[in-house]
Amino acid sequence: MNTKKKRKKRRVNHYVVTVSDMPSQDTHLRRLPHGLRRLIALCILLIVVAVTIIVANNNYRATVLAAKEEAYQEEISRLSEENNKLTEQNAILQDKVLILSETVNEKNEVVNAIEERSVPTGFPLSVAADLNEKKEVLQIDGENVTRPMIEFTAPDGTYIVAAGDGTVSYVAEEISYGWEVRIDHSNGYVTSYRTNTEPKVKVGDEVSRGGLLFEMKAGDDDDDPAKLGYQIIYNDEYINPSEILEING
């Protein structure tokens, strides 16, 4: 029976040589124990593993940060484009607002001009005339009622005209002067014109400031000149026409 001799595993010894930089010192040779060598090897392995983990972690964090930075840059770019679009839209809206504002201002000017022309401040005759402020006293429901008025005296053929824009609301014969025309100015004002000639307008006619209502005519007697009895009513109350009448000269 053949037997093989078992080979002994040869132990490799490691030594540490300590050399001094001074000639007087001896060189020392120390053997490293097997356990110490294993411990050193394990420490080196742990250091390598730790360094590898740290490097890998740093690389991972760098990759994540790069990805986040790229995402941030894309988001910044997107928001910048949206901001540019919003800026353009805002500029367009500002232009529209400006145009609308100008349109509203123009409309307001037109409305104001219309409203201004509807206030009966105009002179009710086509030429200068003598005027006399007087009180008209009427008996209504058994009581004396006083109404302010202006009586104008003008040359034969003078035109009686509307003192403001409005609509003819009343045309009728009356006792004191002969005929009466009333104009509703749609702002609380109503003007009354009375003279002895037949009016040139009828109920429902739209009239402008300065529009013809009558042509005045003197009576046959020299003491009976052409006259206009003029009154203003505001919110159903008679007011003195002199308060708003524009008289030039």
Tens of pLDDT along 171-227? 999 998 999 999 999 999 999 999 999 999 999 999 999 999 999 998 777 677 899
Q: Of 178, 232, 179, 230, which Cα lies nearest the Cα of 202?
A: 179
**Within a 13 Å sphere around the CA of 236, how many CA atoms are in the beta-carbon half?**
0
Contact 198, 174 (CB under 8 A): no
How far, in Å, CA of 192 to CA of 211, rounded? 14
pLDDT at position 249: 42
Q: Which residue has the higher pLDDT, 25 or 71?
A: 71
Residue 12's pLDDT band (cuts 50, 70, 90): low
| Contacts for 228 with CB less than 8 Å, ≥ 6 apart | 124, 125, 129, 151, 152, 154, 160, 193, 194, 195, 214, 216
Q: Which class is domain 130-243?
A: mainly beta
pLDDT tens-digit readout, 155-175: 999 999 999 999 999 999 999
Q: How far is CA 33 from CA 14, 39, 40, 43, 82, in A?
A: 8, 10, 11, 15, 72
Instruction: Name the percent of the chain lying above pLDDT 70.
Output: 83
**Who's near 14: CB < 8 A, 6+ residues apart?**
31, 32, 37
According to the model, what pLDDT value does residue 5 have?
53
| Residue 97, both tokens | 């607002």
Q: Which amino acid is at 222?
A: D
pLDDT at 105: 76
State both tokens at 120.
């009966």
Domain residue limits, the chain: 13-118, 130-243
Whether the pLDDT of residue 247 is over 70: the answer is: no
What average pLDDT does the segment 38-46 reach? 86
Whole-angstrom Cα distance, residue 34 to residue 51?
A: 26
> Mean pLDDT, the chain, as a whole number?
85
Residue 4: is its pLDDT beyond 60? no
C-alpha pair distances (Å), 212 with each of 172, 189, 203, 228: 17, 19, 14, 14
Give the distance from CA 65 to its chain's centroid: 46
Query: What pLDDT does residue 117 have?
Result: 85
CA distances from 175 to 20, 143, 179, 195, 236 (A): 149, 19, 8, 10, 22
**What's the rounded Cα separation, in Å, for the pair 244 and 190?**
13
Q: Give the global pTM.
A: 0.59
- pLDDT at position 245 over 80: yes
- 138 has pLDDT over 50: yes
The confidence score (pLDDT) of residue 115 equals: 75
Mean pLDDT of 107-119: 74
